[in-house]
Amino acid sequence: MKIYRISCAALIVSGILFIQLATSGCSSGPGEPAVRPDTTAKKTAQPALYKVEIRQMKFEPSELKVKKGDKVVFVNEDIVTHDVTEAKRRRWTSSPLKTGEYWTLVVTESSDYFCSLHPVMKGRIIVE
Amino acid sequence: MKIFKAIPALAAVAVLAALFVTEPVLAQSPKLSDPEIASVAVTANQLDINYASIASKKSKDAEVLKFAATMARDHQAIIDQAVALVKKLGVTPKDNAVSKKLSADAEATKKSLRAKSGHAFDKAYINNEVAYHKAVISAVESLLIPQSQNAELKQLLQNVVPALKAHLEHAEMIQKTMK
């Protein structure tokens, strides 16, 4: 789910609530989004922000196509603790995320990932 | 029934299976009130925490230890939510024949597990986890959810099912690697 383009500073200040607001703003429908993408910014300087929800023991969406430098926020909306860990060499991990906690990955390359606490949960990020 | 053939000593599994899984018995399954369903749910989760506690002390296998830690963490989280819900609803979990029988017969399983060591223990623990989760999933889906009257209790039970199924799949993954 592509959310919108936003500066890093705004992300830090606004946190996850801002992300959720933006998500609703980008939802389908005839109305204008509550937070509009900054279309005047140079695309090369502004990473896109995506959200992956962890719920019902799944990553949603389980596959995401992004560009290098984009950011992916993983939000644990499940009833148990999860993590997000690179699958092949464990090059990165979120560490455990309790219910309601989130973690942001800056994407540098395509990766398969999983929850190391529940190895049946898998996802993929593809850099286009 | 496969569960009985495979692991005749695992009494807690047998109890759940006998009460909820086999069709002839299901027709005569007990009618449970919401407080009784809450009690069964908490008991079933606590039993798996107890098995995990034994595994954490006896196993030396990294995968088994990690699985046991996940079981303890997840089932405690489920209990916490169940307790929070019954407090919110002003309901007191009510001990009943099912929860009592589960607790009593789990003692046989724990005794059997404690009598084993090394690889034999790891295999017995994981085999029990596979069978136990199968039985609990069947119980939750075929009895506890249909019989629960309160919408929030029903929703909590429905929310738990994906975690139980992921636990089962995880246990089966480990089981396949064991010889």
What's the pLDDT tens digit per position in B40-94? 999 999 999 999 999 999 999 999 999 999 999 999 999 999 999 999 999 899 9
Please report, for residues A23, B75, B81, B82, the alpha-carbon distance to residue A79 in angstroms, rounded to integers and kept in the order given: 22, 10, 8, 11
**Looking at residue B17, what is its pLDDT?**
53
The pairing of strands A2-5 and A48-55 is: antiparallel
- Give the gap in angstroms from C-alpha A55 to the nearest C-alpha of chain B: 9
From the CB of residue B56, how many other CB atoms can be counted at a distance below 10 Å? 14
pTM, two decimals, is: 0.79
Residue A76: strand pairing partners: A54
**Looking at residue B101, what is its pLDDT?**
86
Tokens of A121: 């949960």
From the CB of residue B126, how many other CB atoms can be counted at a distance below 10 Å? 26
What pLDDT band is residue B14 in, cutting at 50, 70 and 90? low
A23-38 mean pLDDT: 35
pLDDT surpassing 50 at residue B114: yes
**Between B20 and B172, whose confidence is greater?**
B172
Q: Are A83 and A94 in contact (CB under 8 A)?
A: yes
| A121 contacts chain B (CB < 8 A) | yes
Percent of chain A having pLDDT more than 90?
64
Which of B66, B81, B163 lies nearest to residue A57, judging by beta carbons? B163
How high is the ipTM of this complex?
0.83
Distance CA A21, CA A4 (A): 11
The owner of tokens 């801002």 is A18
Chain B CA closest to residue A116? B66
Q: Contact A80/B78, CB-based, under 8 Å?
A: yes
On chain A, the residues whose CB falls within 8 A of the CB of B77 are 79-81, 99
A82-90 mean pLDDT: 97
Q: Are B156 and B85 in contact (CB under 8 A)?
A: yes
